[in-house]
Structure 1
Amino acid sequence: MNNGTTKSPAVSAKRVADAVPWNKHVHQRRNASDWVADILIWALIILIVLVVLYPLWFVVIASISDQHLVSNGSVTVWPKGLTFAGYVRVFQDSRIWTGYRNTIIYSVLGTILNLVVTLPAAFALARVEWKPRRVILFLFTFTMYFAGGLVPNYLLYKQLGLLDNWLVFILPGAVSVWNLIIARSFFETSIPEDLHDAAQIDGLNYFGYFMKIVIPLSSAIIAVIGLYYFVGHWNDYFTGLIYIRESGLQPLQNVLRDILLANQTNQLGTGSGGQNALQNQQIADQIKYGVIMVSTLPLLVIYPFLQKYFDKGVMIGAVKG
């Protein structure tokens, strides 16, 4: 018989939940050591962020500041003597637009080919029932440590007709073994095998399972390795330096390098001192900062949209829970 003193199960459960120390509604008392630890952690995080971001910010403000003020240390946090002379000189060269066009083509087509080759290969190497996978993975990994070298590669590309051919930026690097291993680990650890069993019951073969189930569930790793590939193509200047002689096929990095070297050569050839030499040096420095911004700005714009996939894509594929 209920005499009014018996507590309902709901009330008892609520009091038990409130007593649990990890309950999010419970505000634990914080002592002085907790506050000191939080302050030190936040101070360390802010310091690391400043150390990482300040060099980039300095390049930005230096590229639009008076180089005389930059050289004497007056420019530290905000631009001074605002000028865009460096960017004007960079963009006055018509080759830069050709370089931008070439680099965008090489980066986009190259990244598409990389994903088309890497993802199916990684999926095949992740299938336990495929017996030769360990041998083939060993052969892939072997190439990470041993390669033919520059001269054999040059002779090979010459025999294949890739010299002065835009395909040299795309075909030779069709797959990165490192990205292949990352994608393979992702498929092994993040795609449940039960999905394959269900797909077989529904009548899907391996190709249908890969295209209709695996790929839609792999957007994170696709974004991650796709950005890796894109950045690699965008920053590639060595290929154009060694295998390309035709100026119309040069990527942006090589065009910017030529502009920078040309202005440094002009600065060295104007004389050994005086006001003109100082002005030429300042112009060369401003062009240098402008070249850095022109080459990195597109990647800085793209990266924030894909950054959220990094932890989800790489860490899930790299760590077994």
Structure 2
Amino acid sequence: MSKQRITKAVFPVAGMGTRFLPATKSIPKEILTLVDRPLIQYAIDEAREAGIEEFIFVTSRGKSALEDYFDAAPELESKLAAKGKTELLSEVEKATLPSGAIAYVRQNQALGLGHAVWCARRLIGDEPFAVLLPDDVIKSDVSCLKQMVDAYEGGSMVAAMEVPNHKISSYGVLDINTHVGNVVSVNGMVEKPSREEAPSNLAVIGRYILSPQVLRNLDSTGTGAGGEIQLTDAIAKEIEDQRGVFGYKFQGTRFDCGSKAGFLQATVACALERDELRDELMEYLQSMLMLRTAAE
């Protein structure tokens, strides 16, 4: 029996991006760029590599720039074509999603990630689906979500990585049952535990493949940590009901672009991958390091 394909993905993008004010006063955080591509483009490219065909954005007021970004731009494309700027034209076309492939639903109350995913329930239907948090940018040879899709055999799966003990209280943490290769079966999930209470150092990162039952769990999930409806609580219900929840230890480097430091680190990493930027940027970084060392 062949496993069910994952063709739909949810992108929760309703947050206000207050850490990046005042920039996010007028533009969505997801449009902020790492070099010359916005955060959301990295998530979309990852999803496409994994075989996703339907893209569901959970948005809020003031996010219309996201809709414009993925729309066609005939006038711009015509000008680029007329001037023979084929490479730029190709990049612009990559940022256009075909008609009917993308949908937008509103989260009109800021009730947390679980609530955001629940808002997309009518578009998901009764099939497994992916969730990608654009704040988490993951650089890898094979995209994180594709690694997960290739390993997925049913139930629900969360991306996981080891984090240092002093950061453990910032994450949902897995209580591990068995470990086979990169896949771990999960006994439980604890949201933002203290260092002493954490069952492991394996933290949940913003990539999920979820059973449609998780949406039904969200129907009855009350508020949890932070007074919000937590997605981890609905996934934990799957563990209680013995329907199978797995962690996947992905190969790659994750950048937390929800923080300013993580965003800057991701920008440098993306720039250093570019042939036309690498040498000049590296020279600058080395000169800054020399100045700092001399000052010390």
Same fold by TM-score greater than 0.5: no
TM-score, with length taken from structure 1: 0.20
Question: Using CA pairs below 8 Å that are at least 6 residues apart, which structure has the higher relative contact order?
Answer: 1
- Structure with bigger strand share is 2
TM-score, with length taken from structure 2: 0.21
- Structure with bigger helix share is 1
Q: Which of the pair has more CA radius of gyration?
A: 1
